[in-house]
């Protein structure tokens, strides 16, 4: 009998072993046949599968209410795998401007491959039916969006996608599975930059795609072909992050809400974007499709000019000036100067982002310390 590589001692260790093996010895030709025919779980080569990676895939699938999950090297690798697996020349893809900036670069590659793309503002997602074509094969969105935290009605998008025979893909990175379960609302696939809230410690990069077993098989084929399998050590770090994920997600959401409420009343902050605020345009939909809070990310404008936002960030002592999100530390940046650099300058402000817009990812610090930091920095604006 082949020994389970995750239970090499006869009983399961408290931490999933890091299996760094690139290849595996076959016990017999019959075992080789059973593995390659899919009759038994087994491993042959790291690009195909890895037991440490497989353990974290099953954990994320369970969190999203999915049958299975494919984990890969980065969040953008996950998105790219979805595009390459399900789109062909002549197909039509609908994207939203309110999405991580690297998708713009990816769209240029897809257009070179013959994919037609329509860009929409997430705040007008209710008009998507006007933009669906006979050849529309995929609708891809984030909700809440990056960086303005706009809320897209997933169930409504699902109805339009279903009517068109198109796949609906939702990036759940901002919401996380703690606050939102897109698959339960009709989404075909959920993607994550697992670098963010799922990992949560600024020490790994990974992507994840959750869905049905058939979708897993499709995406596994693509991952195996292009070689985007995650390394075992990063998978181990990701699994460790998942053990504290729910506690961190709850705390980050509470901190984000406290800061959003404070900023919404501040005279030097003309706009706050956070779906937890009752005044937010997406609040009503967010209440329907999110639960246990509204996520740990918010955006807001500081003063009137970019120099105001820069001065504010330079005065912060506890909140850290850095990109990324979903970490134990609170992180803050100006999207126009960082996450949106992938986009042409004229596109960066075309859907609501301003040069003085700031994105804040709440960490797990004591809320009174965060509020004090914001107050003192805003005094200098």
Q: Is 380 a catalytic residue?
A: no
Q: Is 105 a catalytic residue?
A: no
Beta strands in the chain (DSSP E): 68-72, 92-96, 116-120, 136-142, 167-171, 189-193, 207-211, 271-273, 297-301, 320-321, 331-333, 357-361
Q: Among 100, 151, 147, 94, which residue's Cα sits nearest to residue 122?
A: 151
Q: Which of 196, 223, 248, 355 is catalytic?
A: 196
Q: Is 196 a catalytic residue?
A: yes
CA–CA distance, 160 with 215 (Å, rounded to integer):
20
CA–CA distance, 191 with 372 (Å, rounded to integer):
35
Q: Say what the alpha-carbon torsion angle 370, 364, 331, 296 is, to the nearest 10 degrees.
A: -100
Bridge-based pairing of strands 116-120 and 92-96 is parallel
CA–CA distance, 364 with 327 (Å, rounded to integer):
8
Burial group, residue 135, by CB count within 10 angstroms (0-12, 13-18, 19+): middle
Q: Is 348 a catalytic residue?
A: no
> Which two tokens mark 293?
């809070």
Q: Which of 47, 58, 240, 311 is catalytic?
A: 47
CA dihedral sign of residues 65, 69, 74, 78: negative
Q: Which of 49, 68, 153, 171 is catalytic?
A: 171
If you count DSSP H runs as helices and E runs as strands, how many of each does the chain have, helices first?
13, 12
Q: Which of 43, 86, 100, 336 is catalytic?
A: 100
Please give the DSSP secondary-structure letter assigned to residue 123: G
CA–CA distance, 49 with 94 (Å, rounded to integer):
32
Residues labelled catalytic: 47, 100, 171, 196
């Amino acid at each position: 009998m082949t020994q389970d590589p995750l239970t090499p001692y006869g009983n399961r260790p408290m931490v999933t072993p890091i299996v760094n093996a690139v290849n595996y010895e076959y016990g017999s030709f019959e075992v080789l046949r059973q593995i390659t025919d899919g009759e038994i779980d087994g491993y042959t080569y790291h690009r195909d599968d890895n037991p440490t990676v497989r353990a974290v895939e099953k954990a994320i699938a369970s969190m999203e209410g999915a049958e299975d999950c494919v984990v890969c090297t980065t969040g953008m690798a996950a998105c790219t795998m979805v595009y390459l697996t399900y789109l062909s020349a002549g197909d039509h893809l609908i994207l939203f401007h309110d999405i991580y900036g690297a998708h713009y670069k990816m769209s240029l590659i897809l257009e070179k491959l013959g994919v037609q793309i329509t860009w929409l503002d997430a705040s007008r997602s209710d008009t998507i039916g006007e933009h669906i074509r006979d050849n529309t094969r995929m609708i891809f969105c984030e909700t809440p969006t990056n960086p303005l935290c706009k809320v897209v009605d997933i169930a409504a998008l699902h109805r339009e996608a279903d009517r068109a025979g198109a796949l609906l893909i939702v990036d759940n990175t901002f919401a996380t599975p703690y606050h939102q379960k897109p698959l339960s609302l009709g989404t075909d696939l959920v993607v994550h930059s697992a670098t963010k809230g799922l990992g949560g410690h600024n020490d790994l990069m990974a992507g994840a795609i959750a869905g049905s077993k058939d979708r897993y098989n499709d995406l596994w084929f693509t991952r195996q072909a292009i070689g985007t399998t995650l390394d075992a050590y990063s998978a181990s770090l990701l699994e460790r992050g998942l053990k504290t994920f729910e506690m961190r997600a709850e705390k980050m959401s509470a901190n984000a809400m406290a800061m959003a409420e404070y900023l919404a009343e501040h005279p030097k902050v003309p706009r706050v974007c956070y779906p937890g605020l009752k005044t937010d345009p997406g609040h009503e939909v967010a209440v329907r499709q999110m639960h246990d809070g509204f996520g740990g990310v918010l955006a807001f404008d500081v003063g009137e000019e970019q120099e105001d936002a820069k001065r504010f960030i330079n005065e912060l002592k506890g909140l850290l000036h850095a990109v990324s999100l979903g970490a134990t530390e609170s992180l803050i940046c100006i999207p126009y100067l960082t996450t949106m650099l992938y986009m042409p300058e004229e596109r960066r402000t075309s859907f609501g982002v301003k040069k003085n817009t700031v994105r804040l990812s709440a960490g797990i610090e004591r809320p009174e310390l965060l509020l004090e930091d914001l107050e003192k920095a805003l005094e200098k604006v």
